[in-house]
């Protein structure tokens, strides 16, 4: 295991042994192309064709960010058009049954490797990119409540021939504990990135970060394991932060572990330390929105 002041390779695919502070880049204006879109990350021809033929859109930035995956369009022939319902009610009876625990030795080539769990994995591209960077050192599990997205993500797993990533159709609030407690290896990182906001006051109980889930994560997370949260909705970010800050007996924010880590005046991380941005993150920053991020580490004792 690397130093406690470092993110493990499950969190930082291209610089696993670097301290977190060295991974935080100077803030760039959302109106500018971020460093991901230099010619070394995407082909010059792709960049030129986009800029020459049409006005740049956030979907173009997503395509460039994830160009390394080289996913094909034949998914549409296998599953049909995948429409995304933006807000799903996790309290519905249809999502109340825990997801069955898979045979981890069938899911992963090596089920003893450190595990990252992404709660609300969406399309899965974010987790697929990480898994592709670390095929032999980390395992990745995506939990998603929209079944069609899970089926498409699993199709892409097979297409990329990856043996260190799996997606499960699951309500994390119901299934997280039993799924992760059955995993043979250590839980190193949990990410909850731009979850459904459920804006209405009467719907706040539908938000994914609730006390029972936080308790399950803390029980399963290994010492010095990490929890990474972010949202482009400040109310949602503050709600998640409040619940994790309340666990000060078990968690520390990363700048308390490593004082060289940069936070803004309100205690938010200015940049994503994962090495890749989520699709929602790209869309939000393209529109000029701020992303609110926090990274916690579990104490040893």
**HEC assignment per residue over the chain:** CCCCCECCCCCCCCCCCCEHHHHCCCCCCCCCCCHHHCCCCCCHHHHHHHHHHCCCCHHHHHHHHCHHHCCCCCHHHHHCCCCCCCCCCCCCHHHCCCCCCCCHHHHCCCCCCCEEEEECCCCCHHHHHHHHHCCCCCEEEEEECCHHHHHHHHHHHHHHCCCCEEEEECCHHHHHHHHHHCCCCCEEEEEEECCCCCCCHHHHHHCCCCHHHHHHHHHHEEEEEEEEEEECCHHHHHHHHHHHHCCCCCEEEHHHHCCCCCCCCCCCCCCCCCCCCCHHHHHHHHCCCCCEEEEEEECCC
Q: Do residues 20 and 273 make contact, with C-beta atoms less than 8 angstroms apart? A: yes
pLDDT at 77: 54
pLDDT at 269: 97
pLDDT at 196: 76
pLDDT at 54: 64
pLDDT at 202: 62
pLDDT at 72: 74
pLDDT at 301: 78
pLDDT at 21: 28
pLDDT at 92: 59
190 phi and psi, to 5 degrees?
-125, 130
pLDDT in single tens digits along all 301 residues of the chain: 433 333 443 333 333 333 332 333 333 333 323 333 332 333 333 443 444 446 889 999 999 999 999 987 655 455 554 555 456 765 556 666 889 999 999 999 999 999 999 999 999 999 999 999 999 999 999 999 988 999 999 999 999 999 999 999 999 999 999 999 999 999 999 999 988 765 556 656 666 789 999 999 999 999 999 999 999 999 999 999 999 999 999 999 999 999 999 999 999 999 999 999 999 999 999 999 999 999 999 999 7
The residues near 157 (Cβ < 8 Å, ≥ 6 apart) are: 124, 128, 165, 166, 167
pLDDT at 247: 97
Rounded Cα gap, residues 207 and 133, in angstroms: 31
Task: Find the catalytic residue in 52, 73, 136, 196.
Answer: 196
Rounded Cα gap, residues 45 and 43, in angstroms: 5
- From the CB of residue 258, how many other CB atoms can be counted at a distance below 10 Å? 16
pLDDT at 230: 97
pLDDT at 281: 96
Q: Do residues 30 and 36 make contact, with C-beta atoms less than 8 angstroms apart? A: no
The order of strands in the sheet holding 165-169 is 165-169, 139-144, 115-119, 187-193, 221-231, 292-298, 251-253
Q: Which two three-digit tokens encode residue 275? A: 């090495």
pLDDT at 57: 94
Task: Mark whether 110 is an active-site residue.
Answer: no
């Amino acid at each position: 295991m690397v130093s406690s002041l470092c993110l493990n390779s499950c969190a930082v695919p291209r610089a696993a042994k670097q301290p977190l502070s060295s991974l935080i880049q100077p803030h760039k204006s959302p109106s500018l192309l971020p460093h991901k879109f230099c010619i070394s990350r995407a082909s010059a021809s792709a960049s030129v064709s986009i800029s020459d033929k049409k006005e740049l859109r956030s979907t173009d930035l997503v395509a460039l960010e994830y160009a390394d995956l080289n996913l094909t369009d034949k998914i549409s022939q296998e599953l049909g058009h995948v429409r995304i319902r933006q807000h799903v009610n996790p309290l519905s009876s249809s999502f109340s049954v825990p997801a069955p625990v898979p045979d981890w030795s069938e899911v992963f080539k090596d089920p003893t490797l450190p595990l990252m769990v992404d709660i609300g994995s969406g399309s899965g591209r974010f987790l697929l990119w990480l898994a592709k960077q670390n095929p032999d050192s980390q395992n990745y599990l995506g939990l998603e409540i929209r079944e069609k997205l899970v089926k498409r993500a699993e199709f892409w797993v097979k297409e990329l021939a990856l043996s260190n990533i799996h997606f499960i159709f699951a309500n994390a609030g119901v299934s997280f504990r039993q799924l992760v407690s059955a995993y043979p290896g250590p839980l190193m990182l949990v990410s909850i990135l731009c979850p459904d906001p459920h804006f209405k006051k009467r719907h706040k109980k539908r938000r994914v970060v609730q006390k029972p889930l936080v308790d399950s994560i803390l029980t399963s997370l290994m010492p010095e394991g990490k929890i990474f949260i972010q949202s482009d909705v400040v109310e949602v970010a503050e709600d998640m932060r409040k619940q994790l800050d309340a666990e000060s007996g078990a968690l520390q924010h990363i700048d308390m572990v490593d004082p060289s880590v940069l936070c803004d005046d309100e205690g938010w991380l200015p940049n994503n330390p994962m090495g890749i941005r989520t699709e929602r993150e790209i869309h939000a920053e393209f529109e000029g929105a701020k992303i609110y991020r926090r990274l916690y580490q579990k104490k040893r004792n």
